[in-house]
Each structure stands twice: as C-alpha cells, then as structure tokens.
C-alpha cells in the first residue's frame, strides 16, 4: 500500500512547507524543549502554586533562553510558538491566568479576538 | 467469539469537557453540538458494548517530549483521570479490559507493530471526551476500555497507511479473542483545527463534511493520502483524523453509516461524529 503522492513529512518537517503552519518537528522540539518542560511541570498543583507565588523564581528552575523567559512573562503566545513552544504544553501556562484558547489563537495570528472569532472561525459578531 | 458491534468516530475537543463541567450544554453556543449526540447515546445504550477500544492521542499530559512513543497500548486494570493543568476533572476513573489488552499486545507484536506497553498511565481529554459524549456522565462507566495512544504531536507522526494497517490488525485481534464480549471501536480527534501559527483558526467545513460522508463508503481515498494532505486539508492538529482510519479499517469493507453529526466551531475545531455498522451485521439482524 502506498500513498498517492510522496510523503515528505519527517522529523525535519515538510520538504514542501505548508504556509503559516509550523510543524512540531525536531528543530521545534529542540528549540522549545526547556520552555515546554517548564510548562509541562504546571500539571502539578504544587508547581502551579509556586509559579503563581513567584513567577521569576519559578522560571529560574528551568534553562529558558532570555527570549523565552520574556515571552512567558509577557504571555506572548506568538513569540512562545516561534521559540519552539508547542500549544499543548504552553497552554498550561494559560491555566494560571485563564484565557480562552481562541484568544491564544487570535494572538498568534495578530488579530483582535472578536475579529478572529468572526473571520477565522465563522462565528457571529457580538460587539459592533 | 467476541462481536464487533460498530465503529464510532468522534472529536475529542477539551472545551467539550469544560462545557459539561460548567453545565453549558443548553447554552446557544453548545446546544446544537450536544443535541447531535443524543442519537449516538441512544445507539450505544441499545448496543450495550462490554469493551470500548479507543484510539486517541495524548496531548502532552501522560507523555512529555522526553519520550514519545509512536504507539502505546494500555494494559491496566484501572486508569485514573489526569490533571492537565486545571485540576483533575470530576469524572470516574476507567476500568481497563486488561485481558483483551494483553491479547492485543501479543497480536500487535506478532503482527510487527511494537507498542509501548503501559501498565500504569493516566488518561487525558482525548479519551475522556469521547466517553462522555457517548455515555454521558454515569457514576461508573458501563464499559471497560482498551486505550491505544498514537503520537500526533511530535513529528514524525505515523502515516495514514500505517493507521489503516493497525486497524486491520485490530480486527484480527478481535476475531481471535476467545471472549464473548461485545466490542466497539472509537477513532477520535479532529475535525479541522489548527491551534498554532499564522494559520491558526483555519476552518474547512466542506472538507469536514466530506470526511463524515465518505469515511464509511470511501475510506481508501483518505487511507492513500499523505500526511501533508491531512495537515493541509484539516490543519496541523486536524491531522489527528488519521486515528479514525484505525477504526475504519477494523470494520468491514461494506459499512452502513448509521448516523453522523457536524457542528463548527466547537471552540476552534470542526466537531463531528459518525457511527458505522458492518453491512453484514445489519443484514443478519434484518433476517
């Protein structure tokens, strides 16, 4: 059994990149590993408390790059993804100061949340 | 011999679980979605399966990036609910069909699939949500489960063709099982969603509806797709749909689409469901 077209998706991503679609490949995993590891640690209630009590001190436990650290502190979702953050891990950061996943999506696209809901997801406009 | 009563495909969006936790089923945003599952709940209540084999992906909860099994198989007697970062959800733990799981472990390895065998592992929304959609919120789940984990997070993810072959093997394992249980297979994930990058929020309602219409009668079309085609058509996370192919290949070539349902968006995802029965089974019942 063989695929209809050559399948070029591999650990180094797609040979023909799909526009605006970052794949979590070897490079992404490598780039984002420490930041994702920090985010993963937030599945523990004790760690969530420690993070909430002193975010800077909590981040000191992990080897984040200065850019990653700044992106986490600023909750800059676009930047976190650019720096190798994978949504399933960095989403756990959003549990500390809850925001809907659609707002994180909008931030990655650089759109207002309401515009994102309407233009991308096809929801009805609620305000204005 | 055990009986394969049907194959179900369903989304497993975490927001569905959150909506249930907050009692939002009857709000305008969610009612059309949940109403569409009422016939599915009736179907499964009538069918009374004993075992549910659920193909799903862990979303960075039981597995971190330090070790990523392409395929993993649960063989536990019981599976606890995992804390995904928001606290443990208040739903019952799952009982495992451990005897069948070990039988499947043998069948997989003998058939040259080599899963990570998991004796103790907690389960995330990827399996919780499908169970809630089909069984509601019972005090105890009415079926035992066999969880099959597929890596759809870290590339390389497995190919659609491999998922198909796994489904064929699963069917053989069901047929070679000496027990008398009634078995249902769930393929989960999708439909369209992309949560990352500048194409985040990508929706493809037409492709979603075509998938639901064709997964029963014309699955070879999707089996023969590349992984790129899945990512391109259904979004980076929508590529989870490859897991429905395991369910579909476990069924006969000729199936009847008993029902299907589509609603978009559920959060950022095209949400859908399909219930398939083997044609041979339907003919037998009519006779």
Q: For B15-73, write each residue's pLDDT tens digit.
A: 999 999 999 999 998 999 999 999 999 999 999 999 999 999 999 999 999 999 999 99
How many Cβ atoms sit within 10 Å of the Cβ of residue A80? 28
Residue A11 lies in a domain: no
Say if residue A119 is preceded by a cis peptide, omega within 30 of 0. no
Q: Do residue A36 and residue A67 come from a single domain?
A: yes
Does the annotation mark B125 as catalytic?
A: yes
Task: Output the DSSP codes for B182-236.
Answer: EEEEEEE--SS---SSTTTT---HHHHHHHHHHTTT-THHHHT--HHHHHHHH-T
For position A90, what pLDDT does the model report? 96
**Tokens 């968006």 label which residue?**
B265
Task: Indicate if the pLDDT at residue B153 is higher than 90.
Answer: yes
Within-domain flag for A125: yes
Task: Determine, yes or no, domain membership for A118.
Answer: yes
Are A90 and A55 members of one domain?
yes
Same domain, A91 and A103: no
CATH code for position A63: 1.10.700.10
Q: Are the CB atoms for B199 and B235 separated by under 8 Å?
A: yes
Q: State which residues form the domain around A83.
A: 26-96
Tokens coding A46: 């004790």
Q: How many other C-beta atoms lie within 10 A of the C-beta of residue A126?
A: 8
Model confidence at B286, pLDDT cuts 50, 70, 90, reads low
In a domain? residue A13? no
Residue A128 has pLDDT above 60, yes or no: no
In chain A, DSSP finds a helix count (H) and a strand count (E) of: 8, 0
Question: Is A10 among the domain residues?
Answer: no
The distance of B47 to chain A (nearest Cα, Å) reads: 34
Pick the more confident residue, B284 or A114.
A114
**CB neighbour class for B142 (10 Å; exposed up to 12, middle 13-18, buried from 19):** middle
Q: Are B53 and B167 in contact (CB under 8 A)?
A: no
φ, ψ at B91 (rounded to 5°) = -130, 160
Report the SS3 class of residue A127.
coil
Whether A30 and A62 share a structural domain = yes
Q: Which residue of B has its CA nearest to A95?
A: B86
8 Å CB contact of B229 and A37 = no
Active-site residue identified among B12, B59, B103, B193:
B193
Report which DSSP code applies to A117: I
What total of structural domains would you count in chain A?
Answer: 2
pLDDT of residue A12: 87
* Residue A3 forms part of a structural domain: no
- Determine which one of B12, B59, B125, B261 is catalytic: B125
A30 and A90 in a single domain? The answer is yes
Span B259-269, pLDDT tens digits: 999 999 999 99
Domain span holding position B198: 3-286
Contact B161 A86 (CB under 8 A): no
The answer to whether residues A54 and A65 belong to one domain is: yes
Contact by Cβ (8 Å): B123, B146 = no
List, for residues A82-111, the tens digit of each pLDDT value. 999 999 999 999 999 888 999 999 999 999
A39 and A57 belong to one structural domain: yes
- Between residues 14 and 53 of chain A, which touch chain B (CB distance below 8 Å)? 14, 16, 18-26, 29, 33, 36-37, 40, 42-45, 48
pLDDT (0 to 100) of residue B287: 62
- What is the CATH classification number for the domain harbouring B207? 3.40.830.10
* Judgement on whether residues A49 and A107 belong to the same structural domain of the protein: no
The pLDDT, as a whole number, for residue A8 is 83
* Chain A residue nearest residue B165, CA to CA: A1
Asked if residue A92 belongs to a domain, the reply is yes
Residue A123 in any domain: the answer is yes
What ipTM goes with this model?
0.93
d(CA B215, CA B219): 5
Each residue's pLDDT tens digit, A23-70: 999 999 999 999 999 999 999 999 999 999 999 999 999 999 999 999
Same domain, A90 and A106: no
The residue among B17, B67, B162, B228 with the most chain A CBs within 10 A of its CB, best to mutate, is B228
Q: Report how far residue B118's alpha carbon sits from residue A97's, in angstroms, rounded to the nearest whole number.
A: 33
Tell me which H or E stretch contains B33: helix B31-35
What is the DSSP code string of B34-100? HHTTHHHHHHHHHH--SEEEEEE---SSS--TTS--SEEEE--SEEPBP--SS---SS--EEB-HHH
Read off the pLDDT of residues B93-138 as tens digits, 9 standing for 90 and up.
999 999 999 999 999 999 999 999 999 999 999 999 999 999 999 9
Q: Which residues of B touch A97 (CB under 8 A)?
A: none
The total of structural domains in chain B comes to 1
Residues of A in contact with B227 (CB under 8 A): 7, 9
Known active-site residue B193: yes
């Amino acid at each position: 059994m063989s695929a209809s077209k050559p399948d070029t998706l591999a650990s180094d991503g797609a040979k023909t990149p799909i526009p605006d679609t970052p794949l979590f490949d070897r490079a992404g995993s490598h780039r984002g590993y420490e930041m994702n590891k920090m985010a993963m640690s937030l599945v523990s209630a004790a760690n969530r408390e420690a993070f909430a009590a002193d975010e800077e001190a909590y981040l000191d436990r992990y080897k984040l790059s200065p850019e990653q650290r700044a992106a986490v502190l600023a909750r800059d979702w676009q930047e976190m993804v650019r720096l190798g953050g994978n949504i399933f891990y960095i989403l756990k950061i959003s549990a500390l100061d809850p925001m809907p996943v659609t707002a994180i999506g909008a931030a990655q696209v650089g759109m207002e949340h309401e515009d994102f809901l309407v233009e991308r997801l096809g929801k009805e406009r609620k305000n204005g | 011999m055990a009986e394969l009563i049907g194959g179900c495909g369903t989304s497993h969006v975490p927001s569905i679980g959150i909506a249930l936790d907050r009692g939002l089923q009857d709000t305008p945003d969610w009612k059309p979605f949940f109403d569409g599952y009422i016939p599915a709940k009736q179907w499964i209540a009538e069918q009374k399966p004993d075992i549910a084999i659920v193909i799903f992906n862990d979303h960075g909860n039981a597995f971190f990036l330090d070790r990523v099994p392409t395929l993993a198989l649960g063989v536990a007697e019981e599976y606890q609910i995992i804390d995904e970062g928001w606290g443990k959800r208040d739903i019952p733990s799952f009982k495992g069909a451990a005897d069948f799981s070990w039988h499947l472990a043998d069948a997989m390895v003998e058939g040259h699939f080599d899963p990570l065998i998991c004796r103790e592992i907690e389960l995330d929304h990827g399996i919780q949500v499908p169970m809630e959609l089909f069984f509601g919120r019972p005090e105890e789940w009415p079926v035992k489960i066999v969880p099959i984990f597929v890596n759809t997070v870290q590339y390389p993810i497995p190919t659609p063709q491999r998922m198909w072959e796994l489904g064929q093997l699963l069917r053989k394992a069901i047929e070679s099982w000496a027990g008398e249980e009634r078995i249902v297979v769930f393929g989960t994930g999708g439909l369209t969603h992309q949560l990352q990058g500048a194409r985040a929020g990508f929706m493809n309602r037409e492709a979603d509806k075509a998938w639901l219409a064709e997964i029963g009668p014309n699955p070879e079309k999707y089996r023969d797709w590349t992984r790129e085609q899945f990512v391109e058509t259904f979004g980076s996370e929508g590529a989870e749909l490859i897991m429905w192919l395991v369910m579909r290949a476990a069924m006969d070539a000729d199936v009847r689409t008993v029902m299907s349902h589509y609603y978009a968006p559920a959060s950022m995802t095209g949400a859908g469901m399909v219930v398939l029965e083997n044609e041979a089974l339907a003919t037998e019942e009519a006779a």
